[in-house]
Amino acid sequence: MIVFDLACGRDHVFEAWFGSTEAFEAQAARGLVACPICEDSNIRKAVMAPAVPAKGNRKADIAPVDAKAALAALAKLQAVVEANADYVGSDFANQARALHFGEVPKRAIYGEASLVEAAALVEDGIDIAPLPFATRRARNS
């Protein structure tokens, strides 16, 4: 696998993994690679820094991840979000907009939005953040 920094026609930069340079080129030529921010399929390789080890050919020491601790932290975060915010499902973009413009009382919300909806919210200056977990309601539906 190889990682590339890519950019779309709107100059959004993102990272993507491919089996080879040829695999990237073939997928990009067929319009199968799209920007995760605006869904533009006019994609090109962006300038990226090479991953060069500090000394010779030695790999950098990477601390092992404690998977159990990481999953426990995510579960705790999910519990806090679900206990303190209202789930608005697929109406997230509309609800976030209404909150931002003061059309409804202030409250914490969470739900789902498409990449296009999320990009539009960000472009309009509405602060949002992706959650690192699927909501229980989304998983059970």
Measured distance CA(134)–CA(132) in Å, rounded: 7
Domain boundaries, the chain: 2-45, 67-140
- Asked whether the predicted pLDDT for residue 141 surpasses 60, the reply is no
Measured distance CA(81)–CA(115) in Å, rounded: 21
Q: pLDDT tens across 26-73, in order?
A: 999 998 999 888 889 999 998 776 666 556 566 666 777 788 888 899
Per-residue pLDDT averaged across 7-19, rounded?
A: 90
Q: pLDDT tens across 81-124, in order?
A: 999 999 999 999 999 999 999 999 999 999 999 999 999 999 99
pLDDT of residue 135: 72
The number of angstroms, rounded, from the C-alpha of 23 to the middle of its chain's C-alpha atoms is 22
